[in-house]
Amino acid sequence: MTTQPPPPSLRTGKICYIEIPALDIAGSAEFYERAFGWHIRQRGDGATAFDDTTGQVSGAWVLGRPPAAQPGLMVYIMVADAAAAVEGVVAAGGEIVEPIPQHGTEVIATFRDPAGNVFGIYQDPGLATAEAEAQAQAEAKTEAAPGA
């Protein structure tokens, strides 16, 4: 059973919406859904939009803009396992620009999506543990539910 994340926090100054240049909106939507598990939806105006896995950031793909092919403003996507995320990016049709460095304190990589946009992958040091604990709690809750 997939649960929806809680509604986003509303705060002045929060980054809340991203427009990502695309060559093929359906293809870009499929890439981010496969690589990162983003929720894809149709907005009321018919545009294809997304919500990240937390439900805190949403956005849409837009045609007619050049891709962000050279890092200027750099957006990183948080993951529990950077190596798995790199494999997911490649399997979904992306390209690794900078692989995970062999030495260093931060585990990061950069990739190019099918439209040519460059994004980063950031492995949060405590995220794997937090996600495993949340999954165990959800499973325990399901097993304790009446009729489970």
Domain ranges of the chain: 17-143
More confidently predicted of 13 and 104: 13
Encode pLDDT of 22-74 as tens digits. Answer: 999 999 999 999 999 999 999 999 999 999 999 899 999 999 999 999 888 99
Give the global pTM: 0.84
The CATH number assigned to the domain with range 17-143 reads: 3.10.180.10
Encode pLDDT of 68-122 as tens digits. Answer: 998 889 999 999 999 999 999 999 999 999 999 987 778 999 999 999 999 999 9
CA distances for 112 relative to 22, 61, 91, 118, 142, angstroms: 12, 15, 13, 4, 39
